[in-house]
A and B are shown apart, each in its own frame.
Chain A
């Protein structure tokens, strides 16, 4: 079965640079979530979208922005990168919204800031 696709899988950037992470949800899934997982930590919710509108917002820095496009894919834009942004970034998708919906995760993008 098709899964959530994230690109790139690995990304190396330097401080103060920008980065864009992409997420392609499972077909017919209309809700997308972004999470950040630091080394040895649990995933932390950043932001979610439902039908191309922002649905919920967590601990996402002001330097980050995201959107969901008409084809339901989503992009997380990160600017003025800091060393602390080094983490595994997950995208998840679900069909419909609501706390009962299982979120299916992609393989993640590992972002390293030098």
Chain B
């Protein structure tokens, strides 16, 4: 069964510090997809990134970067030079390709990130 673990329940950092959010996943599939979503205080879920299991290249988008390591089943998310607007709950999620009709996302329990001005 698929499972996503975000061990960090809450993190607080001072503005402009770098912060890394951890995500560890479990799956028996060889093909799967990993996602990060952001949920700001207003409540909506915002898609940030998708990564497939065959692409271990790290990705950078502005102040955001993602480190995917299959050897440790991890898909960590780093925010560089954090800003107050980054304060949100961040969810890591997984979907498996073994059953094409099964598109559900399995979410981790989320990490609440607070950026202190």
Q: Measuring CB to CB, which residues of chain A are less than 8 angstroms from any residue of chain B?
A: 31, 33, 35, 41-45, 48, 55-56, 58, 88, 90, 92, 94, 97-108, 110
Contact = CB atoms under 8 A, between A and B. Distances in A.
17 contacts: A33-B103, A33-B104, A42-B108, A42-B109, A43-B107, A44-B107, A45-B105, A48-B104, A94-B103, A99-B103, A101-B103, A103-B105, A105-B44, A105-B46, A105-B47, A106-B44, A107-B43
Interface of B: 32-33, 35, 37, 42-47, 50, 52, 91, 95-97, 100-110
Contact of A107 (B44, B50, B91, B107): B44
B104 A58 contact: yes
Contacts of A88: 43
B37 A97 contact: no
A97 B103 contact: yes
The 10 lowest CB-CB distance pairs between A and B, nearest first, are: A99-B95, A45-B104, A105-B45, A42-B107, A107-B44, A99-B97, A102-B47, A102-B50, A42-B109, A100-B33
A26 to B, nearest CB: 11
Contact of A56 (B42, B43, B47, B103): B103
A43 B43 contact: no
A99 B32 contact: yes
Contacts of B97: 98-100
A56 B102 contact: yes
Contacts of A90: 45
Contact of B100 (A48, A98, A103, A105): A98
Given A48-B103, A97-B100, A102-B47, 9 more contacts: A43-B105, A56-B104, A99-B32, A99-B95, A100-B52, A100-B97, A102-B35, A105-B37, A107-B43
B110 A42 contact: yes
A105 B32 CA distance: 20
A103 B47 contact: yes
Nearest to B108: A42
Contacts of A104: 47
A99 B103 CA distance: 5
Contacts of B101: 55-56, 97
